[in-house]
Amino acid sequence: MCEDAIISGLVPEVILIRSGEEAVAENWKKNYPGLSSVEVIVLSEALFLKLSSTKSPQGMALVVKSPETDSAFPYEEGKSRYIVLEHLQDPGNMGTIIRMADAFGYTAVLFTEDSVDPYNEKVLRASMGSCFHIPLISFADSAKIFDVLKEKGIPSIGGHLRGMDLRSVDLPRSSALWIGNEANGLSELTSSCCDILITIPMPGRAESLNAASAASILGYLLAFPPDN
């Protein structure tokens, strides 16, 4: 994950290395010229363990500034696809969805600012570095997101238990998939503003899927819609 951040253009303020892993920092400095002046601090194993939130850290860490989450809105007519997260709270869900969006070639992940921080340490680990590969854009609220999507002519598709069976819907080539809060789903206002509400048929006994599982199924179908 540290190397993913470096490759993605983040320049650390400090490189922290556990004693015995100094070769890692040496290789980074050799392979990435932008790191030549970055300070390297070597820590004892005991101290590195205190700094790390994992039980078995790999022995390297970076101190970096969080990337901006309000960058220019990326858009390519007829091709852009977005994942929109409304009030999402679970960092594991957020990270998994970011990873899915990266894997399936989505243009960006949009989210309301009351969602979990996309650079929360648990989000970072769940995303497996994808948080550095795809634009993550924060909006004050859902209305602001709808304004931008409507301006670009991008249809909004909401994942909703009361939606149409996804097998019966003609899926657009360019769209924004909305995923709601884990406990409450999409807000009533957002549900009413979406162009289409779809649901995943579940013949088993489970009442629902968690947000990341549902987003992955719907996200795949929207990324590779079947020929109509």
Produce one character per residue of 199-228: b if its CB has 16 or more CB atoms within 10 Å, e if not: bbeeeeeeeeeebbebbbebbebbbeeeee
Output the pLDDT for position 139.
Answer: 95
pTM passes above 0.95: no
Tokens of 93: 């869900």
Q: 52 pLDDT band (50/70/90 cuts)?
A: confident
Q: State what percent of residues in the chain have pLDDT above 90.
A: 81
pLDDT (tens digit per residue) in 207-216 = 889 999 999 9
| Stretch (H or E) spanning 183 | none
Type of residue numbered 221: L
pLDDT in tens, 53-77: 888 888 999 999 887 776 689 999 9
Segment 125-175, tens digit of pLDDT? 999 999 999 999 999 999 999 999 999 999 999 999 889 999 899 989 899
DSSP, collapsed to helix, strand or coil, labels residue 66 as: coil
For residues 21 and 42, give the distance between their C-alpha atoms in angstroms, rounded to a whole number: 9
Nearest of 75, 76, 69, 84 to residue 222 by alpha carbon: 84
Structure tokens at 119: 């650079």
Average pLDDT over residues 205-227: 91
Domains of the chain, earliest start first: 2-63 (no CATH), 81-223 (3.40.1280.10)
What pLDDT, on the 0 to 100 scale, is given for residue 207? 84
